[in-house]
């Protein structure tokens, strides 16, 4: 017998969608998927055509030469033009599932920051529109972040950044620029929102590792790992190799910069 | 200071950061010699990624040739008096007919100053790609050939 007052914890995204409908009243159906795609494409296009983005692209050669003059080497990869990416609805649902359910130790009560729902996820999700910049040297990550901050300041946009260093061997800087946009609501009336545009800055080698390990990270996010599990001792696990590879690469990249600067 | 070289600098083209660095290097050498430079030339190479790499900056006065090596990040200036002292010079154009340039055009200029062989003379090399070949040819004709030792 099931207690009708006890809310069952959804075990996957499909169950999460049902829970979202029954408990919070939001239905993710084909109509919503069409709406979401329309909004995201508009946001992507508006950002691509924004003065901020155009100026950032125009400034990259200047930033590259500025680093060259300071450090004696080029920072950017000329063939690597940054592109703007948007988050798919499936990926967003997965993120909401993780925040609302998997990582919510207060369930069935909402997480401390509140439920993530279709009503607020354009405002509360950092990476619905995102891009990344890849640099050759580790110290170039902070250099680019500082340039992004300066440009955001010139445009009057709020800016924040964090240098991620995870136990799982993930190293990258994430910056967020808060830019005002107008999107249609579900009734297609205009609504003003401030969207966080995420710009990740990472090194060329970390980018390669990240691409190789992306599937592994995605799979890991979908399962609940026991709290006392220590991947550091499970040398046969995929985590052992991939996580330590991330740490080793970070260390080597630090040494490369150290040797380069010593030889100046 | 850069105004008279603006047309050339815009051909390359260079970022503002590099232009400012060129101006800084010109000012340093002007202070050192107390002369105005008639012309400048920037050596460029294309790297594996297809990007232009600016290696040396040449400053030319009526008397002197100055090579500012790795000028973007270093102050390292070689100076030689070249007036009527060019002993030997050669030019090697690649996919360049001295009139039109393409993406594949490049030119290498080599000269010895102070003698015709490498013994007892200073050797200089200028290299250019694409549109910069036209300027390299101009430098060759205007300052090197006209100063070959009689």
Structure tokens at B35: 């002369």
B91 or A6, which is more confident: B91
Confidence bin at A138 (pLDDT 50/70/90): very high
Across chain A, mean pLDDT equals 90
Question: Which of A65, A77, A79 comes nearest B17 by C-beta?
Answer: A65
Q: What is the ipTM of this complex?
A: 0.74
Q: B9: distance to nearest CA of chain A, Å?
A: 15
What is residue B52's predicted lDDT score, i.e. its pLDDT?
85
A interface test, pick of B9, B18, B20, B69 with most A CB neighbours within 10 Å: B18
Question: Which of B16, B18, B49 comes nearest A78 by C-beta?
Answer: B49
Confidence bin at A216 (pLDDT 50/70/90): low
Residue range A25-67, pLDDT digits in tens: 999 999 999 999 999 999 999 999 999 999 999 999 999 999 9
Question: Which of B21, B49, B53 comes nearest A79 by C-beta?
Answer: B49
Least confident of A117-121, A167-171, A221-225, B85-89: A221-225
What is residue A218's predicted lDDT score, i.e. its pLDDT?
63
With left for phi above 0 and alpha for psi between -120 and 50, is residue A72 left, alpha or beta? left
Q: A135: distance to nearest CA of chain B, Å?
A: 14
Confidence bin at A1 (pLDDT 50/70/90): very low
- For residue B110, CA distances in Å to A17, A128, B88, B125, B140 come to 73, 56, 8, 5, 9
A227 or A14, which is more confident: A14
What residue ranges define each of the domains in chain A, with the CATH number in brackets? Answer: 13-204 (3.30.460.10)
Structure tokens at A59: 């400034």
Structure tokens at B89: 């010079």
Question: What is the average pLDDT across A238-243?
Answer: 83
In chain A, what residues touch B42 (CB-CB under 8 Å)?
none
User: In terms of CATH architecture, what is B3-147?
Assistant: Roll (2.30)
Find all residues with CB under 8 Å of A205, minimum gap 6, and list them.
Answer: A249, A252, A253
Q: Residues of chain A with pLDDT > 90: what percent?
A: 72
Q: Coil, strand or helix: which one is A148? A: helix
The domain segmentation of chain B, as residue ranges, is 3-147
Contact criterion met (CB below 8 Å) for A99 and A107: no
Whether the pTM exceeds 0.80: the reply is yes
């Amino acid at each position: 017998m099931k207690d009708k007052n006890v809310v069952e914890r959804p075990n996957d995204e499909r169950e999460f969608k049902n829970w979202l409908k029954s408990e919070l009243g939001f239905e993710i159906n084909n109509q919503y998927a069409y709406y979401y795609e329309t909004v995201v494409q508009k946001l992507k296009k508006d950002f691509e055509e924004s003065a901020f983005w155009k100026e950032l692209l125009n400034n990259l050669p200047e930033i590259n030469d500025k680093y060259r003059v300071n450090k004696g080497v080029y920072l950017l990869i000329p063939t690597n033009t940054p592109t703007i990416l948007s988050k798919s609805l499936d990926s967003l649902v997965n993120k909401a599932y993780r925040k609302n359910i998997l990582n919510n130790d207060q369930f069935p009560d909402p997480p401390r920051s509140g439920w993530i729902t279709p009503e607020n996820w354009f405002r509360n999700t950092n990476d619905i529109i995102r891009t990344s910049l890849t640099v050759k040297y580790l110290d170039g990550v902070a250099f680019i972040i500082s340039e992004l901050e300066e440009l955001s300041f010139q445009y009057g946009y709020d800016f924040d950044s964090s240098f991620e260093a995870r136990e799982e061997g993930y190293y990258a800087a994430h910056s967020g620029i808060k830019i005002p946009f107008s999107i249609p609501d579900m009734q297609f009336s205009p609504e003003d929102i401030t969207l966080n545009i995420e710009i990740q800055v990472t090194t060329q080698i970390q980018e390669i590792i990240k691409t190789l390990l992306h599937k592994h990270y995605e799979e890991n996010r979908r399962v609940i790992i026991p709290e006392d599990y220590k991947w550091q001792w499970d040398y046969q696990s995929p985590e052992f190799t991939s996580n330590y590879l991330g740490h080793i690469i970070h260390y080597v990249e630090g040494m490369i910069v150290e040797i380069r600067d010593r030889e100046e | 200071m850069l105004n008279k070289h603006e047309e050339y600098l815009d051909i390359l083209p260079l970022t503002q950061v590099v232009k400012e660095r060129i101006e800084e290097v010109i000012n340093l050498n002007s202070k050192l010699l107390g002369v105005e430079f008639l012309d400048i030339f920037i050596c460029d190479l294309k790297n594996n990624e297809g990007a232009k790499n600016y290696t040396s900056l040449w400053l030319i006065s009526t008397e002197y040739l100055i090579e500012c090596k790795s000028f973007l990040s270093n102050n390292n200036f070689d100076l030689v008096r070249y007036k009527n002292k060019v002993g030997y010079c050669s030019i090697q154009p690649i996919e360049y007919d001295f009139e039109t340039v393409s993406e594949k055009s490049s030119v290498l200029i080599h000269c010895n100053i102070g003698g015709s062989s490498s013994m007892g003379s200073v050797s200089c090399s200028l290299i250019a790609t694409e549109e910069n070949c036209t300027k390299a040819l101009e430098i060759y004709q205007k300052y090197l050939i006209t100063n070959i030792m009689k």
